Structures are given as structure tokens and as C-alpha cells.
Amino acid sequence: MKLGFLTACLPGEPLDGIAGWAAGQSFAALEVSADHHLAEVGPLRLPVSAIGYYQNLLHHDVAERDRIHDMLRRCVDAAAELGCPLVGTFIGRDITRTVAENLRLAEDVLPPLVAYAKDRGVVFVVENCPMEGWHPDGYPANLAYSPELWRWMAGLGFFLNFDPSHLVWLGIDPVVALREHLDLVKHVQAKDVEIDPGARNRFGVFGQLVDKPSPWVSGWWRYRVPGLGEVDWRRLIDVLYEGGYDGVVSIEHEDPVWSGTPERVRQGLVLAQRTLAPLMV
């Protein structure tokens, strides 16, 4: 296994500079954020583990959905040119339709994207994030959030960019979920989550409703860098090794404590590296 990170945490920094710093810190790969760095993709000092374009492939606005699909095809083209086998994304959800209707919609509109990628030697990997901020009431807006749907998703040709942090606050044991779906995991994102049980008792699992400062604020949990939350990284990495996973573990830095400036973000990445690197041989 190799340790890398997603470049979205340094949106204003040039990709070449990020790669130089990462190589100097002994990171082994970069997951390149298409929203921030796709135009800069070229020869780098580090391999690209995946190109990440995390948007709603089932957006209710058809014109916007078409734009997203066009951009995803551009990401596939860039990945193929780099010899990178993976493009990260979401399944998403049309929030005007039921889950059952969304499943049928996905089965109708997503296969051409999978075929386009397959023709170019690229596979889609989907992060299992609920994307609750896309829904007006904070409910899941990315069908890939639920292990119940992972094999349905794989049947369409979308595999897992496994992120344990989301499972923890959903009440799912990430180690168990990983062990049962190792054959679907093509990429791993390393993010942690900090739980406030007292606040959960007040707001419930769906989170704060009144005077909510942001669609992405639950009021009872927040993302942290690996080692500062609830995820048992020792057991998780062990399961990956036991299952024969030999790909990249990519730190997804969304920790509000270690954010605010590029220097602070880099410190957060180093903290995450100190937790994960000793577990990876």
C-alpha cells in the first residue's frame, strides 16, 4: 500500500508545488481534484492514484447533469492520458425522485459513462459519502452512502473509493463493512470523524434543523484527520492487508481544526501521515 492525499485541501496552490512538497514529505501518490487542478495535470514528481470529480451524476436539472457528465468524460480522458486507471466520483441522486426511481434513473443514464471509461482503460470509484448537504432537509443525496447498494452499484460498473468516516456517524462499523466488500474496493480515502454524543442526543442522527449555519453542519459530528477521531485505523489497515489490497490510501483532509491556511492544512496532512504511515509496510 502507498500513502497519498487528495489535492482539494489545497485549492489555491499549484499542483506542481503540491507534488513537490508531498514528495519531500515522503507521500507516494496524489489523488488530483478535477475541480481545482485538472488543468494542471501533466508530468509530476508523484504518481496520480486517481482523478477526483465528486459531483452529482443524477442531478435533477438535466442540463446540469449533462454538463457534469461531459466534465466526467474529460476526467476519464485525462486519466487515460496519464495512464491512471481510476476516476473518483459520486453516484448522486435526483432529490425530486424516490430512491426506487433513482435506481431506475441510474440504470438508464449511467451505463454510457461506464462504457466510455472502459473503452479508455479507466474504472470509476465512488466515495460512500451521503452528501446530505445536497438535500434541502439533510437526507442522503448520494446513493452510494449505503452498503446495501454497493453491489447494485458495482453491477453498473462503479466500484468503491472506500471512506470509513461516513460509516461511523451512520452507525455502521467500517471494519465489518470493509471486510464484507473488499472485492469492490479499488481506492481508499482516509478521513476520520469526531462524535459528540451529547449533541446527538439533542439533534438526533439527522442533525441540527433550526438556525443551521451550513447544509454541511450536523451539530453533533465533524470530520477530522486520521488519528483524531473514532476510526480504528490499525484494524482497518489490517483488513486491507489481509484482503490483499495493494493500492493507495489517500488522505481526504476536511478537518476544520487543521484548516484556514495552506500551512495549517499541510500540518494536518503531516499529522494524518504520522498516524497512518507506521501501519503501512
pLDDT tens digits, residue range 182-222?
999 999 999 999 999 999 999 999 999 999 889 999 999 99
The average confidence (pLDDT) of the chain is 97
Kindly report, residue by residue over 129-154, the tens digit of the pLDDT. Answer: 999 999 988 899 999 999 999 999 99
pLDDT tops 90 at residue 84: yes
- If you average pLDDT over residues 87-106, what whole number do you get? 98
Over its C-alpha atoms, the chain yields an Rg (Å, rounded) of: 18
Kindly state the percentage of the chain with pLDDT values over 70: 100
Beta-carbon contacts of 65 under 8 Å, excluding residues fewer than 6 positions away, are: 56, 57, 58, 59, 109
Q: pLDDT exceeding 90 applies to what percent of the chain?
A: 95
Q: Domain count of the chain?
A: 1
Domain membership of residue 6 as a residue range = 2-279
pTM: 0.96
CATH of the domain at 106: 3.20.20.150
* 92 CB-near residues (< 8 Å, 6+ apart): 55, 56, 57, 58, 59, 131, 134, 141, 142, 143
Say whether 116 sits in a helix, a strand or coil.
helix
Kindly indicate the confidence band of residue 1, based on its pLDDT and cuts at 50, 70 and 90. Answer: very high
